Amino acid sequence: MGVARGVPSAADAVAPGGLTSTEAAERLRRDGPNLLPEPRRASSLRLLAAQLTHLLAVLLWVASGLALLAGMPELAAAILVIIVLNGGFAFWQEHRADRSAQRLRALLPSDTRVVRDGRTVVVQAAGLVVGDVVLLEAGDRVAADLSVVSARSLGMDESMVTGESGSVPRHEGDRLLGGSFVVQGDATCLVAATGTSTTLAGIADLAASAERPPSPLTRQLDRVVRVLAVIATGTGVGLGAVALGLGLTATEAFLFGVGVAVALVPEGMLPTVTLSLARGAQSMAARQALVRRLDAVETLGATTFICTDKTGTLTQNRMNVVEVVTPVGSVTVEGNGYEPVATAVGPRAALDRSRQAALAAVACVTGRVVERTGEHEGWQALGDPMEAALHCFALRLGAEVPDHDDTQRRPYSSDRMLTSALDRHGEVSVLGAPESVLRRCSGSSEGAGLEQQLDRLTTSGRRVLAVARRTWTGEPSAEMEAGLELLGLVALEDPPRPDVRDALAACREAGIRVAMISGDHPRTAEAIARQVGLLGEGGLVVTGDQLPADDAELAALLDRDDGVVVARVSPADKFRIASSLRGRGHVVAMTGDGVNDAPALREADVGIAMGASGSDVAREAADLVLLDDHFATIVAAIELGRATFRNIRRFLTYHLTDNVAELAPFAVWALSGGNYPLAISVLQVLALDIGTDLLPALALGAEPPRDGIMHGSSRRRLVDRSLLVRALAVLGLTEAVLALGVCTIVLTSGGWTWGETPSAELLAVASGSTFAAIAVAQMANAFACRSAVVPAWRMPLLGNRLVLAAVAAELVLLVVFLGVPSLADLLGGSWPAPLGWLAAGAGAAVLVLVDGAAKRARAKHRLR
């Protein structure tokens, strides 16, 4: 019987020299490689099938079948081409984004130092096996679950897995989690679990099993499609019955009704929506936001609540020493992150004391800054950012930092709240929380007057550490951490990103509420939130253990205008926050970078992962990956999402206008009992939908964002009363009256009177003129639909060059449809008479004027 993977047995015992290569190979064969299970991705065929079988696609499949049944195989084929091309394009877009996210996995380190055959070797992380002896040092990533055999000042960053920020001390016998990082010290460890048996794999599996909610766009489009399907079916059945009553045979009436129903199906809507979302995704990618699902583009625009991390998103994740308060004076430091250049200002005695404090602090830590390689000058941090900032500060002051490889350290512990180091000269350095260090200093004068300074520094949101020293003879012990001489209080800050305040102000103006969800101490998180403008006077600061157990109470507590800070949160807290806010009606965007964040990212309407610093599991769970980890990029993506939403409303208005004009001739023919001839044919309707109208609709989907798009809350309904009134009662009705008016003018000029049957030649000219009137009116409508409030003549003509190109192409197609005899005969019309062209052109001008008058009337109504 085999040994259970990840459960060491007697056979897994290891000699001090590590496993032999033979033993390692056998265990690798037995347990398999040390790899996380690949995310359960659906097959490419299944993903493609999903793009071909959603509700709008199903409606088109039905329309294609009915067209074939009605004896219109060309139309059936055209609809099939639309379905397949659109589905293929949408699949390719999302597949490309998914591949881009997968390529980010290659940025993770993959080598680990182990002891095998009695010597240290470097192996790929995938080759680790249970029982391997692993050697860790600062900067290493833990590639499997390990058990600590021995450690020296070992500090771990486990935020990727547990969400707990800051360095966590680990000692002999402790468990190290795969996916965590060594920020200080070194250790010798034994591999306890690999691959799918690790804690990391369990969290990844939980994230993969979380259900992703349908996007607001998907829900609203489904509603629109159902309504249009009912309208098309009802109209087809009604007109089929009228045709039967007017003397057509049952078969002819049925085929006529089917043709009308097919004609009213919005064949152009599917590719228009897809291409608009794809263009939005490309625009977001250009602004450092990688969209992994196309519908997330619009969902971002509907966002009403952002739950954001602090470190690296709102701040630069570059700790910086900004002030040192010593018993002999204060020193202020002006510098940028880890850059070498800085200015330290203060009395000479305080500068000397600060230099001593910096050297003592550096002796207690292992984080460092090193020279950057490549084209960028300056320093970069290795290890914990705070520790690197201390080293950077010492170098800025001109201190010569010695090699402390032989330093003996007592690592940080939560009861002592400090760390200490003893060098070979008997110098003890102590670094820790001020309240812990100050009480260990000898003489009340050392701490006198500093309490007020400490209050000033902490209330300003800075992280404050106390540094002290003494001499000691003997081995490191607790006694050497008493009777200290205070060197100073060192204040550090993680500077906010320079434009995050403006981004948060844009959120407030847009009606988007923001909460900081952080694992940090509440005072630190609150100070940063106030500094960047996230937290107002009435803002809430709460810790994870203070959150209400009831989800409705939780959502009500967090749903406030003045900002929220939730500190010391757990992964379960983040998941509950996303779920409860969604239950309250919010569209929630949640950021995260750790493996533990993945379930919350899936629960949110938009999961946003960090591309530069995040885990691959978080990126797999996310809808959006920030390539620069920047909060302002989220706001830019929301702006583009809002623009995409408005563009979808623009071309929906355009499509619905056309449908009214196309339906009107059939309605007049039916209501008149056949006394008014049928002005256009079913194939002409389809030529308008698929031929002339598609390109302008696509161009409207590329309308650039307007100034003011982030003013006020986002419109939540895709099709509302204002859109329907404008599309149906204003533009649609006007276009229908104009089309029928052109038809009537052409018929009467040819001698037709009410109730007569016009000659075939006259009817063909009238039908071609009606077709031209609708097409030309739609050209004007393309310009009118560029804005819901600004008249067409006040819009910049070159503001959307694609509309100009699309209208030009529509004009060419119109000439082809009417000027090529065989094609005109197939559609059922002929080249219009000069009077028909003149009336069609005049009708386009009338449409623009009516639209402008309606916009002006709505503006006056809003002002009252």
Residues assigned a catalytic role: 309
Range list of H helices, 584-630: 598-603, 616-621
**Where in 298-406 does DSSP place strands (E)?**
305-308, 320-326, 329-335, 342-345, 368-371, 379-382
* Beta strands per DSSP E along 595-724: 606-610, 624-626
Dist CA 323 CA 321 (whole Å)? 6
**How is residue 422 written in tokens?**
């003893």
| Dist. CA 613–CA 29, nearest whole Å | 33
Reduced to 3 states, what is the DSSP secondary structure of residue 794? Answer: helix
Amino acid at 859: A
Distance between CA atoms of residues 676 and 827, nearest Å: 20
Provide the residue type at 343 as one letter: T
The CA-based angle 54-55-59, given to 5 degrees, is 120
Could you tell me where the DSSP H helices lie in 2-152?
21-31, 44-52, 55-69, 73-103
3-class state of residue 102 by DSSP: helix
* Total residues found in the chain within this entry: 864
Give the burial string for 84-99 (b: 16+ CB within 10 Å, else e).
eebbebbbebbeebbe
Whether 774 and 662 have beta carbons less than 8 Å apart is answered as yes
Other Cβ atoms closer than 10 A to 213: 19
DSSP one-letter string for 49-73: HHHHSSHHHHHHHHHHHHHHHTT-H
Tell me if 184 sits within 8 A of 168, measured CB to CB: no
Whole-angstrom distance between the N-terminal and C-terminal Cα of the chain?
83
User: Beta strands of 313-442 (E only): which ranges?
Assistant: 320-326, 329-335, 342-345, 368-371, 379-382, 408-413, 418-422, 427-432
Please say whether the beta carbons of 104 and 124 come within 8 A: no
State how far the Cα of 367 lies from the Cα of 388, in Å rounded to an integer.
Answer: 5
Determine how many CB atoms are found less than 10 A away from the CB of residue 451. Answer: 12
Q: Is-contact 155 56, C-beta < 8 A?
A: no
Interatomic CA distance for residues 87 and 60, integer angstroms: 12
- Do residues 431 and 492 lie in contact, with contact meaning Cβ atoms separated by under 8 Å? no
How far apart, in whole angstroms, are the C-alpha atoms of residue 636 and residue 165? 27
CA distance 539 to 541: 7
Q: What separation in angstroms does the CA of 395 have from each of 424, 425, 566, 682?
A: 22, 22, 36, 80
Query: What long-range pairs does 805-810 form, CB within 8 A, spacing at least 24?
Result: 805/695, 805/699, 806/695, 806/696, 806/698, 806/699, 806/782, 807/696, 807/779, 807/782, 807/783, 809/695, 810/692, 810/693, 810/695, 810/696, 810/775, 810/778, 810/779, 810/782
Checking 602-606 for CB contacts under 8 A at 24+ apart, the result is 602/207, 602/210, 602/211, 602/212, 603/210, 603/213, 603/575, 603/578, 603/579, 604/307, 604/578, 605/213, 605/215, 605/216, 605/299, 605/302, 605/303, 606/296, 606/299, 606/300, 606/303
